[in-house]
Amino acid sequence: LGDVAAIAVCIALPMLVPIAAVAQALYPRDAPKQPGAPSWARERAALPPFTPPRTPEGTPNLQGRWTGPNGGDDIEEHDYVDVSSPPEETYISDPPGGKIPYQPWALAVQAQHRAGLARGWPGEKARLYTDPQTFCIYSVPRATYRGGFEIVQVPGYVMILYTFNHYYRFIPTDGRPHALAADVKLWMGNSRGSWQGNTLVVDVTNLNGRNWLDQVGNFFSEHAHVIERFTLADANTIDYEATIEDPKVFTRPWTIRVPLRRARPAGGDTYADEPWENACHEGNEATEHNRSLGFKWFKGAAVP
């Protein structure tokens, strides 16, 4: 009954949100495979060269609201799992084959995470952790490849305003270096941007490694370094890449690469184009529920 209740809470919570949060789709067993990095590589290869429009400052204009792929419950390729997890292609463009290049100990830890989710999947063991995002936590790069944000460019800075729980990043692009001590660890990290050709490159350090990359426990540690690349592939698509380096966890750097699509203009309601409050932590009943079920608090993977 507890697991049924947990699913009911997960389904019910978005319905309590007064404005259009992205609806949680329910997928049938024969749902088509959701596109990921391989589909995007094929689509991108067929696109003609694109010259992006410019802001008054002369930088490529990435402004607007952007949506991500539908899935992302598991960023590696997977078959149908359950009504909330349709089959999906991998989000990983490198290494070829689309698997995360974990070191052996880290692969074992990821398997523990997956086996402790208590989602009613084969091979599960005792409850261990719930995806930290359940508790209204976000992080880079997960926040970005999931989509659901607005980019605003002001002179010298790029602002990314995420819908989920009002997270934001205010990224200087004036060439200043990172200026935080290495032992300061942040959920969203410390971002420094630069324009390389038509691409916005964001260098992210000081990440705390305490969120997951998806719902099944893929992870990096507090030693990770992330490099994001935002390039307009056409007027309504950002080619988004996130390269993750973490020599304590992976055998080599690897890259997530997915398209972010321009959100369709909001229609109908007078206020439809206004971003309204998205308070997540306040009254989040999933927190109490998951705690009462015996899930532990994820404090980051213990790097050997």
Partner 1 sequence: MTRHSIRSAIVVIGVLLIFALAPDPGASQTPAAYTPPRTRDGHPDLQGVWQALNTAAWSVEDHPATLGVPAGHGVVDGGVIPYQPSALARRNEHFANRATLDPETKCYLPGVPRITYMPHPFRIVQQADRITILYEYLHAVRYVFMNGRPHPPGPIDWWMGDSRGRWEGNSLVVDVTHLSDRTWLDRAGNFHSEAVHVVERYTPAGPDHLLYEVTLEDPKVYTRPWKMTMPLYRRQGANNDLLEQEYDCYPELLEQEWEKPDSALFGRP
Contact between 90 and 71 (Cβ < 8 Å): no
Binding mask 125-164 for partner 1 (x = CB under 8 A): -------x--xxx--------------x-x----x-x---
Binding mask 184-213 for partner 1 (x = CB under 8 A): x-xxx-x-------------------x---
Contact between 88 and 78 (Cβ < 8 Å): yes
Q: Indicate whether 51 belongs to the interface with partner 1 (CB under 8 A).
A: no
Least Å distance, CB 65 to partner 1, is 13
Q: In this complex, which beta carbon is closest to partner 1, that of residue 9 or of residue 83?
A: 9
Percentage helix, strand, coil, to 5, in the chain? 20, 25, 55
Q: Indicate whether 172 belongs to the interface with partner 1 (CB under 8 A).
A: yes
Applying CB under 8 A, the site for partner 1 has a residue count of 41
Binding mask 15-34 for partner 1 (x = CB under 8 A): ---x----------------
Q: Which region among 116-124, 193-201, 237-245, 267-275 touches partner 1 (by CB under 8 A)?
A: 267-275
Please report, as residue ranges, which positions from 88 to 127 form the binding site for partner 1 (by CB under 8 A).
none
Cis-peptide, bond into residue 18, ω within 30° of zero: no
Contact between 205 and 190 (Cβ < 8 Å): yes
Least Å distance, CB 57 to partner 1, is 11
Q: At what angle do helices 2-16 and 285-292 cross, to 10 degrees?
A: 170
Query: At 191, phi and psi to the nearest 5?
Result: -110, 135
Residue 6 parent element (H or E): helix 2-16
Q: Indicate whether 166 belongs to the interface with partner 1 (CB under 8 A).
A: yes
Binding mask 278-297 for partner 1 (x = CB under 8 A): -x-xxx---xx--x----xx
Reported as half-sphere exposure (CB side, CA atoms, 13 A), residue 180 has a value of 13
